[in-house]
Amino acid sequence: MSTRLYMKTFELPDSFILINVERLIYLTYYIYIPLPHTISEPWKLMMLDATFRGVQHLGNLAHSLGLSHHIKVLNFAVTFFGMLSPTSSEGVRVTDTVFDGVQVRVFEATRGSNSELKRSVVYIHGGGWSLGSARMQSYDYLCRKMAEDLNAVVVSVDYRLAPEVHFPEQYNDAYLATKQFLLPEVLAKYSVDPNRVAVSGDSAGGNLAAAVSQQLALDSSVTNKPKLQSLIYPVLQALDFNTPSYQQNRDVPILYRPLMIKFWLEYLNGDPSFIHSLLVNNHTSLDLSQVATSREKVNWTLLLPSTLKKHYKPVVQATGTPKVIQEVPALLDVRAAPLIADEDVLKLLPQTYVLTCEHDVLRDDGIMYARRLEQAGIRVTHDHYEDGFHGCMIFGIWPTYFSVGIRTMHNYIKWLDQNL
């Protein structure tokens, strides 16, 4: 009798149950998106993407109400819970300093004698030139792990971000910091072997790493040149947003095609209204003669294997929107789009590692660059992940622990260990 009374006391009204069931349905509907069956841990990715989309919606709302720039809201959410102070450990000494006016975080492995010269990696973080920091937990972990596993000195560049600054300031920060580090007296200060330095980065950081590597190769005042460049799912061109990977993965998280275009326009300080023109390649139409040479350098029909071309067709407009190139000339600037560099420049570059993911709009950027480098006679290692998605490497740590992220990080560091 007493048990029945106790249970009756906690009976929930039908209306309460109905409301919460409806909420659960709405939440499930918001979270669920159809994903390729080959992608790594799809439900975990859906949860991550739903969180990211939710923050984007809040940012767009704040922007429309005039409260804050939507990128600032997004970056606040990305960095709020994960910013770390420079904390040393038993095997790695961590310090924040400045190289030629640019903030950097330096990770120095402490294993071995003080007189022993170490190898080094200059690392440039991703985030669409607008998000992230060298002080974020994910990049702090990655650079700390590289320093320890490679017994190396890792310099993580904390370049300035949009919307506070636009191109070419992000590039300038990355270049100035790297060039300062490569000075003989600075390398000596950190006991770095001048013949064993790599330049590396992921996503937008891969873009900056590629551009920095090209300029270092051309700069006669730089006496110590990088031995390697390693690019993790890099973004390398803004002339064709209809490559097979852009078409195939336009709706695959976490980097949707329109979002990538928004990042480009923010970086290059372009009018957001140009999004549609870029989506349909109106900015590179056949009637725009100034684009012709650069367009050929991103001709995926010649640079991609047939296994990736599949059934996709090039999107080439006969007439377009000249206003886009006129107002955003940096779309044709090799410092912003390293893929369109001349072959004479590519021939000067060091041995290269390119990591790409099948479920990433930027897949073909990396593959086309690897192919152009090979054509220029550069030794290239192309590491492709069939179950990978954009950004997966930095999601190989807590709290996400994507298996493909763990694998990509392991193999990336392994390649550096074997070649640096």
- Mean pLDDT of all residues in 271-285: 97
pLDDT reported for residue 1: 44
Residue 276 is a catalytic residue? no
Percent of the chain with pLDDT over 70: 94
- Mean pLDDT of all residues in 95-111: 97
pLDDT reported for residue 3: 47
Residue 360 is a catalytic residue? yes
Q: Per residue in 44-84, pLDDT tens?
A: 999 999 998 998 988 899 898 998 999 998 898 888 778 99
User: 266 near 170, Cβ under 8 Å?
Assistant: no
- The catalytic position among 173, 240, 360, 383 is 360
Strand-strand pairing, 102-109 and 92-99: antiparallel
pTM: 0.94
What's the sign of the alpha-carbon dihedral 82, 88, 91, 92? positive
- The catalytic position among 130, 200, 203, 213 is 203
CA distance 70 to 76: 10
Residue 203 is a catalytic residue? yes
Given a cut of 80, is residue 25 above it in pLDDT? Answer: no
Residue whose tokens read 């720039």: 69
187's tokens: 């390398």
What is the length of the chain? 420
Please say whether the structural domain 81-237+333-419 has been given the CATH code 3.30.750.24: no
User: 222 near 216, Cβ under 8 Å?
Assistant: yes
State the chain's mean pLDDT as an integer: 93
Given a cut of 80, is residue 306 above it in pLDDT? Answer: yes
Gyration radius (Cα) of the chain, Å: 23
Given a cut of 70, is residue 409 above it in pLDDT? Answer: yes
Three-state DSSP class for 261? Answer: helix
Nearest CA-CA partner of 262 in 271, 250, 253 = 271
Domain extents in the chain: 41-79, 81-237+333-419
CA distance 98 to 180: 10
Q: Per residue in 367-380, pLDDT tens?
A: 999 999 999 999 99
What kind and span of H or E run contains 367? helix 363-375
Given a cut of 50, is residue 6 above it in pLDDT? Answer: no
- The catalytic position among 70, 125, 359, 390 is 390
pLDDT reported for residue 398: 82
CA distance 179 to 176: 5
